[in-house]
């Protein structure tokens, strides 16, 4: 049975660092959540470290700029580690070839143009047309506000026939952009795999992003609490890494646990988690 808490401060003394998700926890893609910001600032004020661990398919500098636009103060976190960071490393290493077709919106161009320091001078990756590609780098639909995965079935049939491998820069299936739910790269990669194609993942719940976060955090054997609203990404990933997990019930699963988003019903919550074979140590309605 997961323990329902009312605030992060109830349990924070037991941890040295947080791996905190962004969408659904700290912001909704449009605006930051003031109570969540306050909770992270309070944790840092006691000496804790906050790593913002996100499946955003962009390098961390781009995510920081987005947080700045939403007026998330820099003193609410120490580090940002993105799925884009981990996936970039794999792409530049040639995981899906040297000539790649980019499936994704133009806002993700930094994935290719902002070369990490480790790859400066040897990042010989070329974006090409689909017909010339050796592999696919997927950061999401071309138009995330209107398109759905099925729109790509025809293209994926051609890609599978050519044996193209897909690098998925964001394993999330959906996120909420304000009041609107949109599909992410993970939904496209899942369809490609269902059709018999091969996809590689580097964000949550997969190990590479956690390995990268630990390296950047440093500090040896820190006691880490993973926080997130994605049952198949944040919770599954944290549990897979042997971390305690705080599940934010008022995010993607909002409405599943009773009418009060700040007070999940224990029975509904336990039944929902059991059906998904997940057991986060703690649950909170919204991060605060």
Residue 249 has a pLDDT of 97
DSSP at 273? H
Residue 120 has a pLDDT of 86
- For residue range 114-135, list pLDDT tens digits in order: 888 888 888 789 999 999 999 9
Nearest to 249 by CA among 224, 223, 276: 276
pLDDT grade, residue 33 (50/70/90)? very high
Residue 240 has a pLDDT of 97
pLDDT grade, residue 182 (50/70/90)? very high
- For residue range 35-88, list pLDDT tens digits in order: 999 999 999 999 999 999 999 888 898 899 999 999 999 999 999 999 988 899
Residue 219 has a pLDDT of 64
Residue 6 has a pLDDT of 96
Higher-scoring residue by pLDDT: 278, 83: 278
Work out the average pLDDT over 244-257: 95
Work out the average pLDDT over 180-206: 95
The mean pLDDT of the chain is 94
Residue 202 has a pLDDT of 87
Helix (H, G, I), strand (E, B) or coil at 218: coil
């Amino acid at each position: 049975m997961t323990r329902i808490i009312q605030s992060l401060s109830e349990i924070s003394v037991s941890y040295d660092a947080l791996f905190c998700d962004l969408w659904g926890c700290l912001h909704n893609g449009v605006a930051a959540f003031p109570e969540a910001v306050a909770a992270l600032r309070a944790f840092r004020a006691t000496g804790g470290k906050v790593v913002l661990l996100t499946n955003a398919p962009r390098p961390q500098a781009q995510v920081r700029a987005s947080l700045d636009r939403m007026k998330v103060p820099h003193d609410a976190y120490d580090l940002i580690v993105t799925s884009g960071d981990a996936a970039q490393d794999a792409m530049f290493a040639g995981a899906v070839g040297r000539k790649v077709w980019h499936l994704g919106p133009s806002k993700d161009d930094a994935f290719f143009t902002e070369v990490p320091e480790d790859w400066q001078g040897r990042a010989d990756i070329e974006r090409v047309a689909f017909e010339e590609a050796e592999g696919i780098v997927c950061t999401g639909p071309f138009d995330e506000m209107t398109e759905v995965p099925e729109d790509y079935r025809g293209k994926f049939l051609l890609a599978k026939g050519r044996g193209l491998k897909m690098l998925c820069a964001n394993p999330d299936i959906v996120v909420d952009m304000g009041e609107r739910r949109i599909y992410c790269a993970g939904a496209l990669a899942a369809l490609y795999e269902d059709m018999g194609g091969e996809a590689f993942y580097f964000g949550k719940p997969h190990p590479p992003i956690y390995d990268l976060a630990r390296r950047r955090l440093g500090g040896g054997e820190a006691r880490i609490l993973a926080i997130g609203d994605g049952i198949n990404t944040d919770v599954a990933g944290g549990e897979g890494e042997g971390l305690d997990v705080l599940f934010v019930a008022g995010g993607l699963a909002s409405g599943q646990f009773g009418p009060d988003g700040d007070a999940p019903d224990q029975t509904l919550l336990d039944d929902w988690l059991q059906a998904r074979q997940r057991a986060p140590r703690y649950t909170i309605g919204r991060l605060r």
